Structure 1
């Protein structure tokens, strides 16, 4: 059986950055305090402050357009 080898990811590649879909805050990686939502098939991240301010809408499953 033929096994394909994979090269490891470049160590110099920058980590993925995420942007809050509401206020534009930027983080190097999605912090555990951020919320992730899938709206219209697109993944959106919301920072801790935006998530806290809109928690009732998030729990009610309202798209961010309704906030």
Structure 2
């Protein structure tokens, strides 16, 4: 049987929710506890999941599609 880190079988507490913000500009997603807006982009860089707002996604679409890390653009 497997469980997520922080689960009751590991003696930890559940992670507290944190507001979703754009990794590029810091714009908030304005969602309560649901998934990010459909217009946002998700990227995994160096094993870390990052979300980018619709404005940044549009502005840097070519770099995102080219798989360039956000530090480059």
Q: TM-score, normalised by structure 2?
A: 0.67
Structure 1 unmatched runs, 5+: 1-14
Structure with max Cα Rg? 1
CA distance in 2, matches of 1:59, 1:43: 16
CA distance in 2, matches of 1:17, 1:48: 16
Deviation sequence 1:9-65 (CA, Å, 0-9, x none):
xxxxxx753110000001124100000000010000000000000000000000000
Equivalent residues in 2 for 1:44-63, closer than 5 Å: 44-63=50-69
Greater strand fraction, Structure 1 or Structure 2: 1
Aligned length: 53
Q: TM-score, normalised by structure 1?
A: 0.73
1:26 is aligned, of 25, 28, 37, to 28
CA RMSD of aligned residues (A): 1.4
